[in-house]
Structure 1
Amino acid sequence: MLKEHAKLMGVFAACGEITGRKKLQKMIYIAKKIAFPFQEKFEFHFYGPYSEELTLRVEELCNMEFLHEVREKKGGYYQYRYTLTEEGETFLRHAEVDMPYLKEIVTEMNDQSARFLELVSTVLYFDTLTRGEVAEKIFTLKRKQRYTEEEIKEAYTYIEQLKAESART
């Protein structure tokens, strides 16, 4: 059971801090799609791929005091920041999690905006469609985000970069 928790904790350990629940959801989804063995199931939701299982795991890690959550008021909404606790670091040292290159991939993703990761994860969610069909889906489903053709092109380039980085194993 805690093996999946440990994989998730490895992401927090690699990043130091992750700001935003949406960003975390997108990072794990993208990592899963490009070859890392995360087991959470994702469905398409308001902000792209979303996993209830992931939300529950994060909540469990907070309850076990392996993960520290800070809730901050930002304008009209709340933003959450996550860091691994000392107890979490101790547990992670004893857990057997072997995911080469995960640190490089997730730290790279953590440097991106949640908006861009939402686009990247949406492109990956519809990866069985043609690029034109994906763009059409994005322009329809993500109309309020006002993504451009150029941003969609950047998302595809970014996905290829992440896949190349993860293939170094």
Structure 2
Amino acid sequence: MLEDHVKLMGALAVSGEIVGRKKLQKMIYIAKKLSFPFQEKFEFHFYGPYSEELTLRIEELTNLGFVKEVKEKKGGYVQYRYTVTDEGHEFLNMYEQELPGLDACLIEMNGQNARFLELVSTVMYFDALPKDEVKEKIFTLKAKQHYTEEEISQAYDYIEKLKKIAKPVQRA
């Protein structure tokens, strides 16, 4: 079992249950941007930062029986729920993972909806740009989401909140 798979299972375990593939992607991306050691590579896609590697790791963990993926039909779309199985928890007990701040960040993020995490991750993806340019990108690339100036401001505030929670792992 690879170290990256263990980190991912640990993230799922502390979250309890993550509802939605998009939400899972955004939570891991945001954690990575907060300097937690997730190695998955992300590219910008239709719903913001996306990692094919993350999708494949979840599929592998599901195939191994360590992660349970439940598919639910919700109106006109399919929603996925992810939890760590009993076998997954037993496996995780063999590994020590100490990442101060990560658990609290994941629990905090899991309490948000996927739409908001999509906005937060998009802001973080373009963090090298000035705020005005980030807003323009959001209004252009995410026009269908109809994000408001207020929501973008809330996303910036939320990022600062997460940075304070994650502070123990921030590198100088």
Q: State the TM-score, normalizing by the size of structure 1.
A: 0.98
Paired with 1:3 and 1:130, the residues of 2 have a C-alpha distance of: 35
- Match for residue 5 of structure 1? 5
**1:65 deviation in Å?**
0.2
**1:101 deviation in Å?**
1.6
- Match for residue 141 of structure 1? 141
Give the match's secondary structure for 2:93: helix
Paired with 2:98 and 2:42, the residues of 1 have a C-alpha distance of: 23
Provide the aligned length of Structure 1 versus Structure 2.
169
Give the match's secondary structure for 1:13: helix
Paired with 1:39 and 1:168, the residues of 2 have a C-alpha distance of: 19
**1:100 deviation in Å?**
1.4
Paired with 1:133 and 1:39, the residues of 2 have a C-alpha distance of: 28
AA aligned to 1:90 is E
**1:102 deviation in Å?**
1.1
- Match for residue 123 of structure 1? 123
**1:97 deviation in Å?**
2.2
Give the match's secondary structure for 1:73: strand
Name structure 2 gaps, 5 residues minimum.
none
User: Per-residue displacement from partner, 1:26-71 (whole Å, max 9, x unpaired)?
Assistant: 0000000011000000000000000000000000000000000100
User: Per-residue displacement from partner, 1:78-123 (whole Å, max 9, x unpaired)?
Assistant: 0000110011001111123221121110010000000000000000
AA aligned to 1:95 is Y
Give the match's secondary structure for 1:96: coil
Q: Structure 1 segments of 4 or more deviating over 4 A?
A: none
- Match for residue 53 of structure 1? 53
Q: Is the 8 A contact 1:119 1:155 kept in 2?
A: yes
Q: Is the 8 A contact 1:65 1:87 kept in 2?
A: yes
Give the match's secondary structure for 1:118: helix
AA aligned to 2:148 is T
Q: Does 1:23 align with 2:30?
A: no
Q: Is the 8 A contact 1:3 1:97 kept in 2?
A: no
Name structure 1 gaps, 5 residues minimum.
none
RMSD across aligned C-alpha pairs, in angstroms? 0.9
User: Per-residue displacement from partner, 1:105-153 (whole Å, max 9, x unpaired)?
Assistant: 0010000000000000000000010000000000000000000000000
Give the match's secondary structure for 2:128: coil
AA aligned to 2:87 is E
